[in-house]
Amino acid sequence: MPEAPVSIPRGAAVARRRSWWARSRPLRVGLLFTSPWIIGILAFIVYPTVASLYYSLTQYDLLQTPVFTGIDNYTTLARDPQMIAALYNTLYYMVLWIPLNIILSIGVALLLNLKLRGMSVYRTLFYLPVLVPAVATSLLWVWFLNPQYGVANWLLSLVGVAGPGWLASTVWSKPSVVLISLWGSIGNTMLIFLASVQDVPQDLKDAAQVDGANAWQRFWAVVLPMLTPVVFFELIIGIIAGIQFFTIPYVITGGTGNPADSLTVFGLILYRAACFDFKMGYASAMAWAATVVIFVLTFIVFQTSNRWVYYQSGETR
């Protein structure tokens, strides 16, 4: 015969529940204190992310109910000629800005690491552009690079050189934007490299010097390998920032991307689609396409980093 179920006295069950309630008190207190952060993550990150993925598969203009269209937005995106131009401009910017930002920041960090009087003043001056908002920086450089009354062409005229059209020229507009971006970004990147340069073990540099290595050889064989983790970090950050590049071309061109769409970058056409054409479904598809591109490029960098990223232990990543 089957055994009769064992009954738990009511008092024991209540005591067990009370015991569980007491044991879970640290968890409940922790959730209570972290609930603002959890709610914020769910409301402002998780929900918008999931919603944008859904909207990317719909036709949605903010005024009417979204109509599911499948991958039509993505196929339209692949055939959009303006998208091809924007991707070219964005890629042009990234190929120039990312390496120049890293190389120039390393050079400035090495200079600011010299033992000279008043070096703290020089470090402050190089970092000051970071504190200037991107909008103010863009307006300042629009005046500085004006082809008619700008300071840049006036300085060139003093040495008998006819200045280019800068932001008004289809040839010089993208290099000009790269120059403006470098002016605002080198200070921040330099600060990170400066901390890394100062962290290079002095005994390694002394050993290389004893072996007869000159300054360049010490930098190439000792200092630069120690900087590769920071280079790796800045490369990832540069890829993300480059694809999201928006503020400077928007302020300079007023959102038009002129001259002749030479400054129409990916972020600019996404902004137009969402805020001017009210094609929220199409804009969401563009945002997810950018996310995929960032993921692919970041994955490639991570996969190749074990060949060139070194740490003080002597091992590659």
List pLDDT tens digits, range 77-86.
989 888 889 9
Q: Where do we find the tokens 């390393």? A: 106
1 or 195, higher pLDDT: 195
The pLDDT of residue 7 is above 80 = no
Residue type, 54: Y
Summarised one tens digit per residue, pLDDT across range 262-287 is 999 999 999 999 999 999 999 999 99
pLDDT at residue 11 in the model: 59
The pLDDT of residue 169 is above 70 = yes
Strand partners, 58: 68
Residue 241 has a CB neighbour count (10 Å cut-off) of: 16
Q: What distance in Å separates the CA atoms of residue 234 and residue 231, rounded to the nearest whole number?
A: 5
Q: What is the pTM of this model?
A: 0.86
**Bond before 259 cis per omega within 30 degrees:** yes
Question: Are 257 and 90 spatial neighbours (Cβ–Cβ below 8 Å)?
Answer: no
Summarised one tens digit per residue, pLDDT across range 232-252 is 999 999 999 999 999 999 999
Identify which of 123, 114, 102 has the alpha carbon closest to the alpha carbon of residue 215: 114
Residue type, 124: T
Structural domains in the chain, sorted by start = 10-55 (no CATH), 73-307 (1.10.3720.10)
* 141-168 burial: b if 16+ Cβ within 10 Å, else e: bbebbbbeebebbeeeeeeeeebbbbbe
Strand partners, 68: 58
Reported as a pLDDT band with limits 50, 70 and 90, residue 14 is low
pLDDT at residue 3 in the model: 55
Summarised one tens digit per residue, pLDDT across range 48-61 is 999 999 999 999 98
Identify which of 236, 235, 232, 265 has the alpha carbon closest to the alpha carbon of residue 250: 265
Question: To 10 degrees, the CA torsion angle through 227, 230, 231, 234?
Answer: -160
Residue 197 has a CB neighbour count (10 Å cut-off) of: 19
Reported as a pLDDT band with limits 50, 70 and 90, residue 302 is very high
Q: What distance in Å separates the CA atoms of residue 191 and residue 182, rounded to the nearest whole number?
A: 14
Both tokens assigned to 57? 């598969």
Residue type, 86: A
